[in-house]
Amino acid sequence: MNTRRLQWLLFAWFFVFPFLPLPPYWITIGNYIGLYAIVALGLVLLTGIGGLTSFGQAAFVGLGAYTTAYLSGVLGVSPWLGLPAGLLVSGLSAALIGSVTVRLSGHFLPLATIAWGLSLYYLFGTLEFLGKYDGLSGIPPLALFGLDLSAPEAMYGLIWLCLGGCLWLVLNLLDSRSGRAIRALASGRTMPEAMGVDTAQYKILIFVLAALMASLSGWLYAHLQRSVSATPFGLNMGIEYLFMAVVGGIGQVWGAILGAAVMTGLKSQLQDWLPRLFGSQGNFELVVFGVMIVLLLLWARQGLWPWLAGAWARWQPPAPLPLAPASAPAGYAGLARRSKPAPGSLLLDVDAARKAFGGLLAVKDMSFALRAGDVVGLIGPNGAGKSTMFNLLSGVLPPSGGAIRFCGERIDGLGARRIMELGIGRSFQHVHLLAQRSVLENVALGAHRRGHAGPLAAALHLERHEEARLLHLAAEQIRRCGLAEHMYTPAGSLALGQQRIVEIARALCSDPLLLLLDEPAAGLRLQEKQALAGLIRQLKAEGMAVLLVEHDMDFVMDLTDRLVVMEFGSKLAEGLPEVVRNDAAVLAAYLGGIE
Ligand SMILES: Nc1ncnc2c1ncn2[C@@H]1O[C@H](COP(=O)(O)OP(=O)(O)OP(=O)(O)O)[C@@H](O)[C@H]1O
């Protein structure tokens, strides 16, 4: 059976639970597992997949809980209105906090989440109308079409339905154009921006989505407990939510349930047993959790879900997700393509470009040009400034001076996304791929700007036609680059040379006019180099221009129309490969030392 179907089948079993002759305590535990799993799921998306660590999620649970508690408990409004109101309050707060917080990177981001988590906690405990630290009570139970949902069994059904809905939305979202962009966030800014992904926008999106899920959990919690106070929304709980996501498997959607179940079950058992063992009351379970997390981080950093999934995969290997359509889907021909420039027309004009890093001039008044169909090699010794030149052309770095024009338009100072949109595709010297994802998904990321469906359409599975077209396009580029047999292989398990080819296929998905290849032949075997040279010749014949940095001189001399040689940031020579090869200055500075 398909792994995804099996997962849903197992999930459906949770709905049988309340009908079994179990003690009511089990239903209570089941309710809390469901509530926590909803928050942990948001953290899987935000922290595990998007790479943004948050300790402050409990505060958004509090926003959802307090909003509905105040509206329904104090103002007497319908509890069902408390849900959209809570989502609105949490969503707006998350958009506001997120727009400031997600700009931070490294350890500053988790520190900031601790800061606003604490602030909101103290706010709940200080505000008079929220009952200060005593909180609010008298929250009415939920009722649906006259059906009273106050019984724990009824709330269980609602909580797990909500969890199922969130899982469905998140899984759909992740299997889409937006999902690929979200997965790319964890690799830093450079690669996703070069693929046309607006990283700031997607970071705020997952921040808001995680807050909305936390808020939903808060709404359910308030109507289950019928009273709220600040304590369950403090930093302690924020850390526990993160533990749950880590224990389940931080990047694993289904791991959220596993983590919440293990932590909740363990906590209730430890709270029972440890005081008996030590003969006194206290929060001993937190000490055990602390030790457990350290051991987990030492020995099973990926959490429990991958371990379970691995065991299952040994029994039945999972079918790859997503799959490329077998034939061109309807409307595929309509995927926008650029109009091609006339052969030989001027594409790229670099005029006295420079880049200074403090006192170091890494690129010093470099000038050269590329025409449609040109294959030009940018060569030079280590540290000559070639990668910096690439970064200026692709918008990763802003130039300190000079002018760069592409198709007649000034592009110096434009961001990587805009430059990519104009038709410059690139690969990286140090491969930037999503190692755990299939080659198909990695390559499809390059087609990000050729799709338009937003995250809502993706979460609701309404963009399947566009998605099929993007995947078909990616599959075509993979076949074109000779990697068809690796279409569904995780990119990280390919040889380094093949990973470089995956990057080229990804760049081709954006339908570029100019391709910047940074050391594409490094790590390739002879046959693979010949295949790559064949591909570049084919691209040239199609009118694409290629600028490549490469240290393999046989490869470069065979393939290029012209060479530009850099040394200490400046242009040392430019001309036909056979002329440059014999240039005395080039021989002295570079080629003399190359085998
Ligand atoms: N972000 C940066 N900050 C400071 N200095 C930098 C930065 N990036 C590059 N440099 C410096 O600029 C110079 C040119 O580096 P660059 O990586 O462009 O050379 P390269 O020709 O690509 O070398 P290689 O062939 O080894 O990749 C080097 O002295 C390098 O240390």
Q: Is 475 exposed, middle or buried (0-12, 13-18, 19+ CB in 10 A)?
A: buried
Q: Which of 202, 234, 266 is the last residue of a domain?
A: 234
Q: Give 375's strand partners.
A: 546
Most confident of 97-111, 288-302, 341-355: 341-355
Length of the chain: 595
Strand partners, 554: none
Percent of the chain with pLDDT over 90: 72
Q: Report pLDDT digits (tens) over 576-590.
A: 999 998 888 888 887
| Within a domain: 246 | no
Please report whether residue 522 resides in a domain.
Answer: yes
Q: What's the average model confidence in pLDDT over 392-415? A: 95
Does the Cβ of 357 fall within 6 Å of ligand 1? yes
User: Do 114 and 217 sit in the same domain of this protein?
Assistant: yes
Give 445-494 pLDDT, tens digit per residue.
Answer: 999 999 999 999 999 999 999 999 999 999 999 999 999 999 999 999 99
Tell me, yes or no, whether 77 lies in a domain.
yes
Query: Residue 466 is part of which domain span?
Result: 434-511
Is there a contact between 252 and 436 (Cβ–Cβ < 8 Å)? no
Ligand 1 within 6 A of CB of 360? yes
pLDDT at 522 over 70: yes
CA 307 to chain centre: 22
Find the 382 Cα to ligand 1 centroid distance in Å.
8
- Work out the percent of the chain whose per-residue pLDDT is above 70: 99
Position 286, amino acid: L
Q: How far is the CA of 98 from the centre of ligand 1 (A)?
A: 33
* Poorest-pLDDT segment among 64-73, 182-191, 277-286: 277-286
Q: How many domains does the chain have?
A: 3
pLDDT above 80 for 593? no
Question: Model confidence over 316-349: pLDDT tens digits?
Answer: 777 777 888 988 888 887 777 888 888 889 999 9
Distance CA 404, CA 349 (A): 6
449 and 419 housed in the same domain: no
Based on the domain organization, do 568 and 465 belong to the same domain?
A: no
Query: What's residue 363's pLDDT?
Result: 97
Q: Is residue 18 part of a domain?
A: yes
Three-class secondary structure of residue 378 per DSSP: strand
195 lies in a domain?
Answer: yes
Is the same domain home to 403 and 500?
no
Contact call for residues 41 and 179 (beta carbons, < 8 A): no
428 C-alpha vs ligand 1 centroid, how far in Å?
14
Q: Which residues pair with 424 in a beta bridge?
A: 514
Does 479 map to a domain? Answer: yes
- 526 and 403 share one domain: yes
Please give the distance, rounded to the nearest whole angstrom, from the Cα atom of residue 594 to the centre of ligand 1: 20
What does the pLDDT read at residue 209? 98
CB neighbours of residue 178 within 10 Å: 25
Expressed in angstroms and rounded, the spacing between residue 76 Cα and the centre of ligand 1 is: 65
Picking from 174, 199, 234, the residue at the C-terminal end of a domain is: 234
Residue 171 pLDDT level (bands cut at 50, 70, 90): very high
Which amino acid is residue 405, in one-letter code? R
- Tokens found for residue 170: 């998140």
Q: Is 364 in the pocket of ligand 1 (CB under 6 A)?
A: no
Does any domain span residue 26?
yes
pLDDT digits (tens, 9 = 90+) for 28-63: 999 999 999 999 999 999 999 999 999 999 999 999
**The tokens of 154 are what?**
């009824």
Contact yes or no for 542/370 (Cβ under 8 A): no
Model confidence, pTM: 0.91
Residue 387 near ligand 1, beta carbon < 6 Å: yes
Under 8 Å between Cβ of 206 and 113: no
Is residue 260 situated within a structural domain?
Answer: no
Contact at 8 Å (CB) between 216 and 38? Answer: yes
pLDDT at residue 523, as a whole number: 84
pLDDT given for residue 143 in this prediction: 92
Calculate the average pLDDT of the chain.
92
262-272 average pLDDT score: 90
In angstroms, rounded to a whole number, what is the distance separating the alpha carbons of residues 578 and 343? 24
Residues 530 and 498 in one domain: no
Ligand 1 nearest atom to the CA of residue 397, by list position = 1
For every residue of 555-589, DSSP letters joined together read HHHHH-SEEEEEETTEEEEEE-HHHHHT-HHHHHH
- Average pLDDT, stretch 109-120? 91
385 alpha carbon – ligand 1 mean position (Å)? 5
pLDDT in tens, 130-148: 999 999 999 999 998 888 8
155 and 195 together in one domain: yes
Q: Find tokens 């700009």 and name the residue.
A: 103
Select from 222, 47, 59 the least CA-distant residue to 140: 222
* Bridge partners, 515 (sequence order): 425, 546
Out of 354, 386, 590, mutate this one to test ligand 1's pocket (max ligand atoms within 8 Å of CB): namely: 386
475 and 417, same structural domain? no
The closest-lying atom of ligand 1 relative to the alpha carbon of residue 429 is: 27
The token duo for 485 is: 């047999």
Is 56 in the same domain as 161?
yes
Kindly state if the Cβ of 362 falls inside 6 Å of ligand 1.
yes
Of 313, 261, 306, nearest in space to 6 by CA? 313
**Is there a single domain that holds both residue 484 and residue 414?**
no
Q: Are 441 and 482 found together in one domain?
A: yes
Which of 452, 476, 511 lies at the terminal end of a domain, its last residue?
511
Judgement on whether residues 153 and 24 belong to the same structural domain of the protein = yes
